[in-house]
Structure 1
Amino acid sequence: RVYALITNEKEEILLADEEYLGKRFTKFPGGGLEWGEGIYDALQREAQEELHQGLTHAKHFYTTDFFQQSSFKKTDQLISVYYTAELSKPEDLLLGEFPFDFTHGKPSFRWVKISELRREDLKFPIDKLMLEKLKKSISDL
């Protein structure tokens, strides 16, 4: 799976609120690879599908090197690749006004201050780890 840690000049990060199999969760934008697809190509395809635009300044941030069981299919394990990136046209993104605001469809997107985002705001264990790593990388600057 491949995900984007999309930030802006206001020190915010983009979150995706989704609903799948009757469960709601908040995560970073991204998803699975399709057969024959490279990781970077999948990142850009997911951005086009979900955000209706491409990503710029995409830079590899982290690849998991530990076992992580899928939250949805217990017989699957995940390898997740995260990139930092920016939106090519941030002004064109349709945003929700609150968590799980599906006015513009699913998933719903919203900006959150990185400094205010907490581990418990995210559903998946790897996203929680990425939040910690991102905050550390910012504090190390």
Structure 2
Amino acid sequence: MFNVRVYGILMNEQKQVLVADEYIRGSYYTKFPGGGLEFGEGTRDCLKREFKEEMDLDVRIGDHIYTTDFFQMSAFTPDQQIIAIYYFAHALEPIKAPLRTSQFDFDDREMELYHRTGETETFRFIDWDDFSGEHITLPIDKIVADLLKATLK
């Protein structure tokens, strides 16, 4: 069984990369914004929906960056293979979601969500000079982060 995930690389004018810090299923993760493809949805529409749901942000989806080209078992569902697709994303409006300056800095609203659902997330930018795969948790995201660092100067 396959689990298709779609993620966006959003960079601001200061050449910083947007990441999501999440607490989900008892663990902390730093990852790129995005999520799961729903039945009947295209990958670009999925990513637009995810940005709208997670950040209340309208985005334009840009160029394709990478699609998983190796086997990656799901960390949460061992009988599923992850296929992850990455695109550049461009904000069409100012970001309204609270942005943090440190990792896993959840506010009261986010902690309320955690107490209701067992999950929460927040967002922050990482300066390009400090950004690398070492700052990302998920294996495929690490590859994409290092690919970006190697190809974008």
TM-score when normalising by structure 1: 0.92
Cα displacement (A) at 1:90: 3.0
Partner Cα distance (1:111, 1:85) in 2: 14
Does the 8 Å CA contact 2:132/2:146 hold for their aligned counterparts?
Answer: no
1:107 to 100, 117, 121: 121
Alignment of 1:50-129 (within 5 A): 50-56=54-60, 58-103=62-107, 104-105=109-110, 106-129=120-143
Cα displacement (A) at 1:93: 3.0
Q: Relative to structure 1, is the Cα distance of residues 90 and 19 closer, same or farther in structure 2, using a 3 angstrom cutoff? A: same
Q: Relative to structure 2, which stretch is displaced further, 90-99 or 48-57? A: 90-99
Give the aligned CA root-mean-square deviation in angstroms: 1.4
Cα displacement (A) at 1:64: 1.1
Identity of aligned pairs, percent?
41
Partner of 1:19: 23
Structure 1: where are the runs of 5+ without partners?
none
Structure 2: where are the runs of 5+ without partners?
111-119
Question: Structure 1 residue 135 and structure 2 residue 143: aligned?
Answer: no
Partner Cα distance (1:133, 1:93) in 2: 27
Alignment of 1:3-42 (within 5 A): 3-42=7-46
TM-score when normalising by structure 2: 0.85
